[in-house]
Amino acid sequence: MVKSNKNNILSKSDIPIWSLGEDELISRISTDTVHGLTATEAAARLELVGPNAISQGEQTPAWVIFLRQFKSPIVLLLFVAAGLSFAFQEWLDGIAILVVIFINAIIGFYMEFQAGRSMEALKKMVSISVKVLRDGSLSEINSEILVPGDVIYLEAGDMTPADARLFNSAQMQVDEASLTGESVPVEKAPAILPTDTPLAEQSNLLFKGTFITKGNGWAVVTGTGMNTELGKIAHLVGTSDQAVTPLERKLEAFSGRLIKITVGLVVVIFGIGVIGGKPIVEMLETAIALGVAAVPEGLPIVATLALAQGMLRLAHHNVIVRKLSAVETLGGTTVICTDKTGTLTQNKMEVEALVSPGGAWKKRDDEKSLPADSLPKAEYGRLLQIGILCNNADISAQKGDFLEIGDPLETGLLKFALRQGEDINRIRLQCPKLSEIPFSSETKIMATQHQTPEGNMVFAKGAAEDLLECCSFLIDAGKYIPMSPLHHKAWLVEAEKMASSGLKVIAGAFKLDTYDSENLTEKLVFAGLFGLIDPPRKEIPAAISECRKAGIEVVMVTGDHPATAKAIGRQLGIIDSDNTEVVLGKEMPDFENLSAEDKSRWATTKIFARVSPKQKLDLVRVFQERKAIVGMTGDGVNDAPALKKADIGIAMGQRGTQVAQEVADMVLRDDSFASIITAIRQGRVIFDNIRKFVVFLLSCNLSELLVISSVSLLFLHFQLKPLQILFINLITDVLPALALGVTAGSPGVMAHRPRNPDEPIIDRARWRRIVFYSIVLSAGTIGAVYFSHFFIHNSDDWLVQRCNNILFFTLIFSQLFHVFNMGSIAVPFWRTEVVRNQYVWYAIAACICIIIGLYQIGPVRTALSVAPMSPADWVVCIGAGLLTMIIIRLGKHLAFFQNGKL
């Protein structure tokens, strides 16, 4: 192998990469297509060229994020209040309002910055791996450490990780829409092209960011990172802001309506006060206080942070959510269409049975028996050849275990061969591959042509019913016998019998002396059946049971044999009876031709077998027509349309193709169905938490409006100051609301049916609750002033400052204790999710510490118009706050308030 010059990996030449011969390419890029680069050389090149990553542009500067905090209408309203305070020479109030605006901006900046860091952390969790040849062996590595000269293997479903030149391929097609705009996949094959060939016609090159839609091939990396075609146009893309989620749009619209209502209320209260003879300056202060009271400062940013933190929590449960809006949709999922292999099962294939025309072997009948003892030598040998040669996986034994690269079914066949003492590498070297027809979901067959000591041979494997259609003969005791209709039917029955016991059935076939690669799958000789076991995951039955309790329908959609699907479905609890109908793909007409009866049948069927990707898409459309929120799992390149169409597209992280992962809303890192249920549970919890803090903030702010309005309309001598309102909001709008955003969720979160996606964040039942909460909070606050005046001080002298202070502190404690009213009423108070949330206690403790600290600082006490209070006054404030909590808690248990759950 030629060593590269560290200063110049690609030697200079006037001939472009696509016009070089293979030997010229290898010499120019200094690589070896047989053994690949050495680890040492790869590390040196990585040091020279840097990681294989596209620059995402400059991150938003911190100062821009900080200035963004001042753009909302809510902040503008506060600025108006500060301006009016300065205009009427209320210097302290004006300065204090500006200080609070600044403090809110700092808090908002910190939370938005943290949300951004959370999103970046999620991005780092999603890495693209690639099969690369280094030091003579094939391994999977992170695509970011690819370097020019690396030899890579790509197959259908892979994303091209770098620019590369093909030197070997089989029926490869590539989707280059992301680069050229061409919507139809283009053919790719090794060739030497003219130097003036345009980019869209460079059929021997693969480009970073494009997808392999069919076939497979080997290529040499020619460019990485910004030195790719995608890198050259990266500056056109630039950075893009995170799209605003539907929830954020609803909250923004809600805040806008709230401000309009507040302005109207301010005008009315101001007018009534002036007409009633109150001084204009006093009424203006009241109007400013009303405006400040109506502002839920923490609402938008707390919602965004709750979604982002929810995504991080899901990541810890092996679920990577790629789109923020998906977090909102998760909790409303009503139907999950799930694959079987690897999602419901362990995806650990082991050969459990072999059946050939001359005999049968079953591992479970006798663990000590060997296939060679039960099958004729010729048939057993052919089945081993098929399993080893018609196979793109790789495997090696290491310390009593196996290092597996490739499809689990294919690695299962190789493990079986290794255990029978076969030397896989020796057999593959003796029988080099000449051509290949890759497996596709349409044909359900894979065939390879090899040069063997017996001459050119074809080996094929695939679904029994499809491969038998291609067989003209069968082998029995070394003799080739014509395949009669009776033989054909008998083998279909045998396959059905094996599948009904839960085995995945794969047929094997071969033929001799063929040179026509166009007809590899014609006139094959049937060799027998492989039966592979893929045990169900242990956690799945409980997850499916939880789905049923939560009103979520689970539908198995698989390409496997219907009998296998039914056996697994029965074991897992998807179906309750062996008599349950299974709909076959061949019985499913196109969506355009579906009758109402067909749609009704599909909507009530639990298992679909031998289904194509196109039929998955049609199934999603049928469910969505019936107003269902559909989650669809997928792993193949052809599953992408269904994943994109589904309300929640769910890709597999371990066995899923990069195409599927790219279009999905979420990726399961462990491929387990149980992780989907965890995600739905977390989705419901996140949405419930958002509802909790929205209800909490609105009821607190509305209670402030009611207190100020009531005091003004009753012409009482005391009133809350704008600065006091700002302080209350600073205390209650941030820490308690943030704590509610990370609540673990109520015990019954999965015990009710999914919510209607059209249902607003705050429905009528919750609006009734908000009004009730606000009335209790405001009545308790004003009542505390009267109680203190008549029962504690027993005086006719209404001291304005004392009344103001009791009003001020009672409202603070009422709102702090009100956070406990956000818990479920389905369990005792001390067991509610809010009471058990340690962060709520931390938030309340921090708020009380802030109150005590500020009360001890003279200038702050003066700014807030707070005078020293007696112990009895403090007891009244705290007692009234606890009383309002108890009244609200009792009220929640009344039948009128049990229409919705908080």
Active site amino acids: 339
Q: Which two tokens stand for residue 345?
A: 């099962």
> Residues 632, 650: contact at Cβ < 8 Å?
yes
Q: For strand 630-634 and strand 648-652, is the pairing parallel, antiparallel, or unpaired?
A: parallel
CA–CA distances in Å: residue 835 to residues 715, 841, 844: 39, 8, 11
- 662 CB-near residues (< 8 Å, 6+ apart): 159, 211, 640
Q: Which two tokens stand for residue 720?
A: 């809350």
Q: Which two tokens stand for residue 318?
A: 């092996």
> Residues 432, 450: contact at Cβ < 8 Å?
yes
Measure CA 191 to chain center.
Answer: 40
Per DSSP, the three-state class of 455 is: strand
- 856 CB-near residues (< 8 Å, 6+ apart): none
Beta bridge partner(s), residue 450: 433, 457
Residue (of 441, 456, 439, 470) closest to 171 by Cα position: 439
> Residues 448, 389: contact at Cβ < 8 Å?
yes
Interhelix angle 673-713/764-787, rounded to 10 degrees, is 40
- The Cα diameter of the chain in Å comes to 117
Rounded-to-integer distance, Cα 176 and Cα 219, Å: 17
Question: Residue 836 has what DSSP assignment?
Answer: T
Rounded-to-integer distance, Cα 587 and Cα 596, Å: 15
Name the helix (H) or strand (E) containing 321.
Answer: strand 319-321
Per DSSP, the three-state class of 746 is: coil
Residue (of 736, 755, 741, 673) closest to 885 by Cα position: 736
Rounded-to-integer distance, Cα 412 and Cα 391, Å: 11
- How many helices (H) does the chain have, and how many strands (E)? 32, 26
Residue (of 156, 658, 654) closest to 405 by Cα position: 654
Q: For strand 335-338 and strand 553-557, is the pairing parallel, antiparallel, or unpaired?
A: parallel
Q: Residue type for 641, please? A: P
Name the helix (H) or strand (E) containing 643.
Answer: helix 640-645
Rounded-to-integer distance, Cα 871 and Cα 869, Å: 7
State the burial class of residue 89 (Cβ atoms within 10 Å of its Cβ: 0-12, 13-18, 19+): exposed
Q: Which two tokens stand for residue 893?
A: 């248990």
Note the helical H segments in 126-193: 177-180
In our burial notation (b when 16+ CB lie closer than 10 A, e otherwise), range 547-585 reads beebebbbbbbbbbbbbbbbbbbbbbbbbeeeeeebbeb
